Amino acid sequence: MKRISINPVTRLEGHGIVEIFLDEDGKVANAYFQVPELRGFEQFCVGRQAEEMPVITNRICGVCPEAHHLASTKALDELFAVDPPPAAKKVRELFNMAFYVTDHTTHFYALGGPDFILGPEAPPAERNILGVVRRVGLEAGQQVIACRARNHEVIRMLGGRSIHPVAGLPGGWSKPVSEEERRQIEAEARKNIDFALFTLKVFDTVVLGNPAYLELVTSDLYHHATYYMGTVDGDNCLNLYDGLIRVVDPEGREFARYPASQYREYIAEHVEPWTYLKFPYLKKLGWQGFRDGASSGVYCATPLSRLNVSDGLSTPRAQEEFERFYFTFGRRKVDGRYPPVHHRLATHWARLIELLYAAERMLELATDPEITSPDVRRIPERIQGVGIGSVEAPRGTLTHHYESDQRGVLQAVNLIVGTTNNYAAMSMSIRRAAEKLINGTQVVEEGLLNRIEMALRLYDPCLSCATHSLPGTMPLVVNLRDSQGRLLRSLRREG
Amino acid sequence: MATVVIGIGNPVLTDDSVGIRAVRRVAEELAASAGVATQEVYSGGLRLMEAMAGYDRAILIDAILTPGGRPGSVYRLPLAGLWETRHSRSTHDAALAVALEFGRLAGLRLPAEISVWAVEAGDTATFGERLTEPVERAVPVVVAEVLRELESRQGAGV
């Protein structure tokens, strides 16, 4: 392959631009996914009191303020060297479960599901939540609305505000859960379990029950044998709020297991000249480029990754689904755990298994005798100066890292958000789609746009927060360039 | 007639917050007169649609970026146009038009009348709690327009 000059197009501005470079034979040499630059987040935070961070970082993005609020609050626990009482940790986890139920539900019905329910070749104008409701039935639509409403109410009740929560404090949570609130949350959790089971049944019928889609999911279209990252509890079961970060290799063997506070020993960030977003990779393996395999430092942190790092799920029905998932992909246990599934389209199924897990876990927490304990806060007594906290956000492991002076005034801030973890993997999936549909100057235009969109949707990139903002629109632009970087063709679809 | 005025945007992203700032001003001006609700919304699509549920009329205020647009320009947009303001859509769920049709289909009571006011933004790529100067000057303009729209409809006895 000739060296590809990317000088003419370094750091293009704009949302969601895909740059595909061809070699001199017209075959795909490289594919890049550009994201817009946003500036000044660290400067915006430095000089503020650290305790403001949970209510600042939750404004970065209107999509997952809950996850930022929790990661930030956990970073403050460490910065102020205070361990919250058990009840506070449970309330925080309960809050995260209600958030997961609404976020995963919305993703499936509005974003991920349409590819399967309407088919990947359906016109873009129909491939949305309206199309899903027309196909699956009005009742499903009403259920989605009801699910969002009841969980938004739980988030408001626990978090103190409906969108930008305020209850997280270093050392705990600002208010205990009353018995009346607990009863309501318990009832909502039961409805969530029924709804998750209903949704898994829809997935069974429309995807697994359809040989063409089953083949699509299990095909090598977006098959990447990478490392995986997720958070696990003491039994190596999935935990979405707290535990140790576990990384497994492409065979499923444990590669690393560490507290979030040690993330810099395991993760480094690679910079490419054509994008402002950094590519995190496994430090011990080093950056070997955009490729998979055991020698490459590329890893992935998604719902699929989280199942791949877990030995099992701690709730009964989700565990049944977990077993069925690996069985369907022909995986059999090796040394007590299932080898990873590398088919990235399976992320949609993994997300629904997490939906069921979150609903079941919400019920467990809502019926925990300690959940109404008034002991939800320990007052910080000193400033340690460094605080690193992480939670599993729906789109991947979210890490907040703050450093302060002795008065608690911030000196440095770094965030690694869910989407950033997956930036290299996303670029690889886009390249895979391009390779299949471009040969010489023959380009299957509509197919290319569809396949690239499918890749993006399965990761559900939060470009907003990966670059610390919220773009209102994201038209997809695919530029094809020759080996000199000259634009051959530009394909465009409005977002 | 139950009316809601909704400001949309990211409160800490310079001019992207113009809708949020304008709706806060509208809320202050309206303090005395009952019957009009105000809300701040931080993402588009389904969230924005849900915020309008239960009202007969909605007025939205958002930032917009148009090709060659002059920062601080104020526009009143028809809902059915080809425009997109910064936050009409959520890239994680749906465009506003799709979200509204979905909500109606699923049985939510959504406003029959929706009008959109948009302010041309200068900087939507830098974190900051202040508007740029031309956009700051546009805030009283858009607030006055929204208040006039509210008044004219109330005066008409609708």
Return mean pLDDT, chain B. 89
Half-sphere exposure of A50 (CA within 13 A, CB side): 35
Contact, A186 vs A367, CB < 8 A?
A: yes
Which of the 8 DSSP states describes residue A7?
Answer: G
pLDDT tens digits for A113-131?
888 888 777 887 788 899 9
Does A99 share its domain with A115? yes
Q: A271 vs A69, which has greater pLDDT?
A: A69
pLDDT band at A435; cut points 50, 70, 90 = confident
CB pairs under 8 A between A and B: 122
| pLDDT at residue A163 tops 80 | no
Q: Which residues of A touch B91 (CB under 8 A)?
A: 463-464, 471, 473-474, 495
Does A93 share its domain with A182? yes
Question: How much is the pLDDT for A37?
Answer: 64
Of B25, B50, B23, which is closest to residue B38 (Cα–Cα)?
A: B23
pLDDT tens digits for A361-412?
999 999 999 999 999 999 999 999 999 999 999 999 999 999 999 999 999 9
- With an 8 Å Cβ cutoff, the interface of chain A facing chain B consists of 36-41, 43-44, 56, 59-63, 65, 106-107, 110-111, 128-130, 133, 138, 141-142, 144-145, 148-149, 152, 163-164, 460, 462-464, 468-474, 495
Q: B91 vs A431, which has greater pLDDT?
A: A431
Which of the 8 DSSP states describes residue A372?
Answer: G
Q: How many C-beta atoms lie closer than 10 Å to residue B147's C-beta?
A: 17
Does some domain include residue A62? no
Does A122 share its domain with A247? no
Q: Which residues of B touch A40 (CB under 8 A)?
A: 126-128
Domain architecture of chain B: domains with CATH:
3-155 (3.40.50.1450)
Does some domain include residue A285? yes
| pLDDT at residue A7 tops 70 | no
Does A288 share its domain with A239? yes
Instruction: Assign residue A119 the CATH number of its domain.
Output: 1.10.645.10
| pLDDT at residue A475 tops 70 | no
pLDDT band at A36; cut points 50, 70, 90 = low
Does A97 share its domain with A146? yes
Does some domain include residue A268? yes
Instruction: Indicate the residue type of A339.
Output: P
Q: Which residues of A touch B103 (CB under 8 A)?
A: 145
Q: A323 vs A13, which has greater pLDDT?
A: A323
First-to-final CA distance of chain B: 7
| pLDDT at residue B86 tops 80 | no
Give percent of chain B with pLDDT exceeding 70.
92
What is the Cα–Cα distance from B113 to B1, expressed in whole angstroms? Answer: 11
Q: Which residues contact A236 (CB under 8 A, 6 or more apart)?
A: A246, A310, A311, A312, A337
Does A186 share its domain with A107? yes
Question: How much is the pLDDT for B83?
Answer: 66
Of A390, A492, A469, which is closest to residue A63 (Cα–Cα)?
A: A469
Instruction: Indicate the residue type of A15.
Output: H
Does some domain include residue A1? no
Does A203 share its domain with A248? no
Of B115, B10, B85, B96, which is closest to residue B47 (Cα–Cα)?
A: B96
pLDDT band at A19; cut points 50, 70, 90 = confident
Q: Identify from B91, B96, B110, B129 which residue to disrupt to test chain A contact, counting A C-beta atoms within 10 A and taking the largest count.
A: B91
Q: In angstroms, what separates the C-alpha of A159 from chain B's closest C-alpha? A: 16
* Contact check, Cβ <8 Å, B42/A470: yes
Question: How much is the pLDDT for A215?
Answer: 86
pLDDT tens digits for A93-102?
999 999 999 9
pLDDT tens digits for B13-47?
999 999 999 999 999 999 766 689 999 998 888 99
pLDDT band at A464; cut points 50, 70, 90 = low
Question: How much is the pLDDT for A466?
Answer: 52
Question: How much is the pLDDT for A216?
Answer: 84
Mean pLDDT calculated for residue range A315-343: 96
Q: Which range marks the domain in which residue A283 is found?
A: 224-342
Does A96 share its domain with A206? yes
Structural domain count, chain A: 3
